[in-house]
Structure 1
């Protein structure tokens, strides 16, 4: 039986009271019972790296310090590198995983290294041989995450089964003072000398007035680098301007109407990735030399020096007897169905969110009633005319 609302409130109050009592009890515990010998591990020693060339190998230096009051009997130092980097060689006391992207985290490689030795307070340690990484052909804006802890970090559920390294095991050795970290986790940027060619592909449309035609335009990262946006970077987008005399029946996936154009995003900026935007356009009227465009947004992209393929034409050839058709209207047409579904179709399109169809079921009944009234009026007028003809005869 469901608990009545007032009982639920009472239960919540009781839980809150117990929680408050528990906090008071904890506050009353004598200081002698507190753990005064807990370790406090921090990692550091790795500064940002610029100018790495694809194919090169470089060190991932790290320092481990214990700012607590007691020793850590065993420690784990974990390295995580984004998909433009990989590990050149891995000691046998480290476990390596390839982790797929999830929850806004990019694809990466991780190496968790176990050091079965005590780390004393006030002493700076470094691995006797630094872990080495290599820059892949797709490297550009990369990141290394260093993490230290007194507990085994375990394997990532979204990764491959961990595999032990094959290089000789390493241990921690005491290092020179300086370079101590201040946190258990640090993220360090690594920038490679590389380029990524963002480009767009237009379309050539052909049809007669009143016809609905498909339009497919495309975004591509032709590489060789993938691009991981960093904090503060403006997101790249594609702006689609339709040829005059057309209206939208269905818009492309990841596209939204912005003024007289559509602005579209993409799922991936990996090297070789593509995003195709499929629209269904109705040719409302003939417009001489009608032409639209597909173009990249204008944020700074120093890694993309080739600007010649940042914009492409969308041409329209209207066939037939040259009828001007309707007088046109807004670019954002409608698909002619009330209450149209907003789900994605098999062709990668979605019904236009800015259309008359989305006004609900009241639109077409009103229109139908008006049409019926016109038909009824015309019929009545015809009957009157017939009667007059009969009387005259």
Structure 2
């Protein structure tokens, strides 16, 4: 830089500039599986500086999901609840401040264990750790012992900027399906309220895969779904997924809650409008607690309540016997075919929930090889016995 002045003297001053920064990483931790509620797990933290300049102090940010709790409170850590992200991310934060100078090429560890308690609601849990340069932040003055950083040798070159660890607890969450009963005459529009709930003991928030809880609805035979909730879409059995569209007349729908986390006691309700078709009899479909891809709820130890009947009682029907819609019988926009009768069995009561399927046999198939289904009518062939 140069300067001129009519009434002064321009002097030079040397300025030393360092090009570079402190690059802080944390150690990687293997995922955990099988920790029981009530136990305590360790979360060792090693902070390394892989940059070329020292960090004049460090902030350690630790985030956990609500199924994990901090076993100890330290005076230089601030604890708070933060808003989880839409995908069920961490929500309990510990922000610890250290005035230790972290030199380049070296690592530092916590002088005391940072333990986490596995609570009675733990199931699919998550821990996130990150080290940041202090940048002039002041240390909190809370109660409890002070957590410090001590030298731990050379920098760990295998570390990561953000350390993530999944903790899959040895616990269960009882996801239950709720059915409903409606009554009407052929041509009427009736409504059924289906539900998906968590009866505990663990909170359900699957944050390590896309296999979120869902409700699979098999439309009762002889009815046509014409009003579909916004969170539900047509189920494509071959693809084992929903297509994202609320098209009327499909035989099955899957409902995916937008908020995928289920606290204990949470219930999500889905209202369907069903049109009773001409010629329909009293009929029963099913609501099934499952995953977004209809996979087994492996964490659910009580699968007896995973299915529930959805019954439409038809006034002036030919028969009072409910026919179970054990499998989708219709295609296109016609819903389940009114003439595809099935024999009612335990699928109506939900006792087959452990298998996720029904043993209901179509009447046409149960008659035997001597029957042929043509144009919706049963035609019997009788072989004359020769003398």
Q: TM-score, normalised by structure 1?
A: 0.66
Match of 1:306 in 2: 302
Deviation of residue 52 (structure 1)?
A: 1.8
Match of 2:252 in 1: 261
Match of 1:112 in 2: 95
Give deviations 1:155-194, integer Å, cap 9, x for gaps: xxxxxxx986421112111125686652221111112110
Give deviations 1:249-289, integer Å, cap 9, x for gaps: 42223111334211111133323221111122222234335
Alpha-carbon distance between aligned partners in 2 of 1:139 and 1:56, rounded to the nearest angstrom: 11
SS of residue in 2 equivalent to 1:234: coil
Alpha-carbon distance between aligned partners in 1 of 2:199 and 2:157, rounded to the nearest angstrom: 41
Give the 3 Å change call, closer, same or farther, for CA 285–37 of structure 1 in structure 2.
closer
Deviation of residue 64 (structure 1)?
A: 0.9
Deviation of residue 321 (structure 1)?
A: 7.5
Question: Does 1:56 pair with 2:39?
Answer: yes
Question: Does 1:97 pair with 2:80?
Answer: yes
Deviation of residue 290 (structure 1)?
A: 1.9
Deviation of residue 89 (structure 1)?
A: 1.6
Question: Does 1:35 pair with 2:26?
Answer: no
Preserved CA contact (<8 Å) 2:97 2:134: no
Question: Does 1:229 pair with 2:233?
Answer: no
Question: Does 1:140 pair with 2:123?
Answer: yes
- Which is higher, the Rg of structure 1 or of structure 2? 1
Residue 173 of structure 1, aligned match among 110, 134, 150: 150
Question: Does 1:281 pair with 2:274?
Answer: yes
Give the 3 Å change call, closer, same or farther, for CA 37–243 of structure 1 in structure 2.
closer
* Comparing 230-239 and 112-121, the one that deviates more: 230-239
Question: Does 1:203 pair with 2:180?
Answer: yes
Preserved CA contact (<8 Å) 1:63 1:180: no
* Comparing 270-279 and 192-201, the one that deviates more: 270-279
More helix by share: 1
Residue 76 of structure 1, aligned match among 52, 59, 62: 59
Alpha-carbon distance between aligned partners in 2 of 1:226 and 1:136, rounded to the nearest angstrom: 10
Match of 2:384 in 1: none
* Comparing 45-54 and 291-300, the one that deviates more: 45-54
Which ranges of 4 or more aligned residues in structure 1 deviate by more than 3 Å? Answer: 32-37, 102-105, 151-154, 162-165, 176-181, 230-233, 320-323
Unaligned runs of 5+ in 1: 1-31, 155-161, 333-393
Residue pairs, 1:154-165, within 5 angstroms: 165=142
Alpha-carbon distance between aligned partners in 2 of 1:33 and 1:294, rounded to the nearest angstrom: 72
Alpha-carbon distance between aligned partners in 2 of 1:50 and 1:152, rounded to the nearest angstrom: 37
Residue 194 of structure 1, aligned match among 171, 185, 196: 171
RMSD: 3.0
Preserved CA contact (<8 Å) 2:63 2:93: yes
Give the 3 Å change call, closer, same or farther, for CA 152–103 of structure 1 in structure 2.
farther
Give the 3 Å change call, closer, same or farther, for CA 191–260 of structure 1 in structure 2.
same
